[in-house]
Amino acid sequence: MRLYVDSTKCSGCNACRVACSLNLFGETNPKKAALVIEPQFPAPGIYNVKVCTQCGDCAAVCPTEAIKQDAQGAYYVVYEECIMCGACEPVCPEGVMFVRPNLVENTAWKCNLCGDCVAVCGTGALWIAEKEAATA
């Protein structure tokens, strides 16, 4: 399973990012979310949304194997095992792997497919479904 997005439907509300930070850290702070919303205004007037595809590239480079995969196929960070080396962030093709010591001192973070963002998104921009067989 993975999270999908249709950016054309996004209204830039950021509710997903609030829900995400609450899930990942128990905090209300969208800067600590695992989705990225890029507003493109005044032209062309759309939001570009980046979400985790659960490709696993981050897990592949983690020297301590702190990024593990769960039963539904989601890769998640075991916070205690992260050493903040920063290896994962640059390999993420979507730009949604975060190692930001100024925001979170002791761990990297990423989407763990909790589904809370989908629950709050009003526009239907987000959904969770099986990973497509062929992912580029």
Partner 1 sequence: MNGYGGSILRVNLTKGEVTKEPTPADVARDFIGGRGFGIYFLFKEVPKGADPLGPKNKLIISSGPISGMLVPGGGKCDWTTKAPLTGGYASASMGGHFTAEMRYAGLDSIILEGISPKPVYLFIDDNKIELRDASDLWGKGTFAVEKQFKEKLGEEFQVAVIGPGGENLVPYACINHDYGRQAGRGGVGAVMGSKKVKAIVVHGAKSIPVADKDAYRKAGMALYKACKDAEGFKDWTRYGTTIVVSWCDEVGALPTRNFSAGSFEGGKNIYGPVMREKIVITDKACFGCPSPCGKYSRNKKYNSFVEGPEYETIGMMGSNLGIDDIEAVAQANLLCDELGVDSISTGNVIGWAMECYEKGIFTKADTDGLDLKFGNVEATFALIEKIARREGFGALLAEGVKRAAQKVGKGSEKFAIHVKGMEQSAYATHNATAMLLAYMTCDVGAHHNRAWAITYDLQVGRDKVVPEKVARVIWLQNFRPMFDVLGGCRLQWVELGIDRDLYVPALEAITGIHRTWEDLDKVGERIWNLTRLYWARENEGFGRAWDMPSPRFYEEAPTSGATKGQITKLEDVNKLLDMYYEQRGWTSDGLPKPETIEALGLKAVIG
Site string (108-127) toward partner 1, x via CB under 8 A: --------x--xxxxx----
Which of partner 1, ligand SF4, none binds 27 (CB below 5-8 Å, type-dependent)? partner 1
Which of partner 1, ligand SF4, none binds 49 (CB below 5-8 Å, type-dependent)? ligand SF4
Instruction: Select the residue interacting with partner 1 from 1, 46, 91, 128 (CB under 8 A).
Output: 46
Q: State yes or no: residue 79 binds partner 1 (CB under 8 A).
A: no
- For 16-21, which contacts have Cβ atoms below 8 Å and span 24 or more sequence positions? 16/116, 16/117, 16/118, 16/120, 16/121, 16/126, 17/117, 18/120, 19/116, 19/117, 19/119, 19/120, 20/111, 20/114, 20/116, 20/117
